[in-house]
Amino acid sequence: MDSKATFRQVLAVGELRAIWLAELQSILGDQVARVALSVLVFQRTGSATWPALTYALTYLPDLVGGPLLGGLADRFPRRAVMVGSDVVRALLVAVLAVPGIPLPVLAAVLVVVQLANAPFTAAQAAVLPSVLSGDRYMLGQSLLKITNQIGQLAGFALGGAVIAAIGPGRGLALDAVTFGVSAIVLRLGVHARPASGSGGPATSTLRRLSAGARTIWLDRRLRALVGLAWLAGFVIVPEGLAVPYAAEIGGGAATAGLLLAAHPAGIVLGVFVLGRLVRPEVRLRMVGTLALGAIVPLAAFWFRPSLPYAAGLLVLSGMCAAYQVTASTTFMRLVPDTERGQAFGLAGSGLIAVQGIGLIAGGLLVGVLGSPATTVSVIALAGLVVAVPATRAWRHVAPLHPL
């Protein structure tokens, strides 16, 4: 049986510290850059539509990049993939900071920047099992998840003030610097390892995609974990409806901001509690139950709760949604090392896709129902219909002990 590790033990590993530090400063830079891009495009166009479309471009390319480029983490040394991706992004973001860049060029460069994110995240996820073993691996993932969530909250909170102080161009230049720093930290702090040998560089993209999909499909445990992870498409709906829901309960921008912060705050708390207080074998058994728990509180939006209760429901949902860390670490342990990058790319791009579908469904349904509160609860009830069989599937195939 795997013994319960501690965050101190995880941070004692030099390679993990390097990955963590690179992640921390890079995510802060990314969030500032998202604010900078929105401000820059709005200043240039005077339109509220174009900033929203530009913001979407910081997410959508991952749908393609994950399946097509995630396999690079299997074909080439993973440290080299991470460092190379950071260098490419640093150079391209520096181009975005050039004054007067035409908007079509800005959009094209931004797409390429996001495409370069796919091999980086796949390589990072694939190398972690080599850096950390046993329960330390789960805690390492937990630490990165907490860092990501806190970094997003802090980046958005500080982004407006930073851009107001230095301007959008310099904000983008700052993001370019963070990618450069990340590349240096990873190059110096992570050990060189040979490529995993997944067919060699000559293996076609189609064959890599087929191999990754086959690996997931033929393993009932992997299928069950992917199904549980993709339930995030139901959980994300309140995020897309935070502003209209705030108006529905008589609030404004401040109310919407608190609602948007509640779910990430719950995730941070849940990840900490699961990692610190719950034994590894118990976490495995709880994955399905927590997946249900992430959806159930959202059904209570039917009663149109006021801000304190709505925020509490979102925090509770976020705490349960912390099961995603256990699901992802178990998934990566079950996938053969030679296919981890490609499998992560496929599963990760699917996760992004279902979240996008959830946001679109929420936006369309609220136009029919007329009430954000009702929309959130209806989609949550639909999510429970999907979550129950997914939970049962995991219960039948879950390992009895941590891998």
Whole-number Å distance between alpha carbons of 164 and 39:
10
Residue-level pLDDT at 1: 42
pLDDT band at 184 (very low <50, low <70, confident <90, very high): very high
Alpha carbon distances (Å) from 178 to 41, 130, 166: 22, 25, 16
Top-confidence range, 102-111, 161-170, 195-204, 317-326: 317-326
Distance CA 290, CA 129 (A): 24
pLDDT score at 145? 83
Distances (CA, A) of 21 to 53, 179, 183, 360: 31, 12, 11, 34
Q: What is the pLDDT of residues 37-90, one digit of tens each?
A: 777 877 787 765 576 566 666 667 777 777 788 788 888 899 999 999 999 999
Residue 158, CB half-sphere, CA atoms under 13 Å: how many?
14
Average pLDDT, the chain: 84
Of residues 142, 50, 122, 175, the one with CA closest to residue 326: 142
Say whether pLDDT at 327 is over 70: yes
pLDDT for residue 133 is more than 90: no
Single-letter amino acid code for the residue at 285: R
Cβ–Cβ under 8 Å, residues 305 and 357: no
Q: For residue range 231-275, what is the model confidence (pLDDT) as tens digits?
A: 999 998 888 888 788 889 998 867 877 887 888 889 989 988 887
Which residue in this structure is represented by tokens 């509160």? Answer: 373
- Structural domains of the chain sorted by starting position, each given as residue range(s) with its CATH number in brackets: 9-190 (1.20.1250.20), 219-402 (1.20.1250.20)
Q: Evaluate if residue 155 carries a pLDDT over 70.
A: no
- Residue 106 vs residue 60, higher pLDDT: 106
Q: Phi, psi at residue 324, to the nearest 5°?
A: -60, -30
CA angle 272, 62, 319 (to 5 degrees): 20
Would the pLDDT of 227 be above 80?
yes
Residues 6+ apart with CB under 8 A from 240: 358, 359, 362, 363
Q: What is the pLDDT of residues 277-312, one digit of tens each?
A: 788 888 888 999 999 999 999 999 999 999 999 999
Distance CA 15, CA 211 (A): 30
| Least confident segment among 177-181, 281-285, 314-318 | 281-285
pLDDT exceeds 90 at position 380: yes
What single letter denotes the amino acid at residue 360? Answer: I
What pLDDT was estimated at residue 197?
Answer: 58
144-169: average pLDDT: 77
Mean pLDDT for the stretch of residues 170-179: 90
Mean pLDDT of 172-195: 92
Nearest to 88 by CA among 115, 54, 124: 115
Sign of the C-alpha dihedral, residues 243, 58, 326, 361?
Answer: positive
Q: Report whether pLDDT(157) > 80.
A: no
- Nearest CA to 329 out of 43, 125, 67, 179 is that of 125
Per-residue confidence band for 201, with pLDDT thresholds at 50, 70 and 90: very low
Please determine, for residue 209, whether its predicted confidence score (pLDDT) is greater than 80. Answer: no
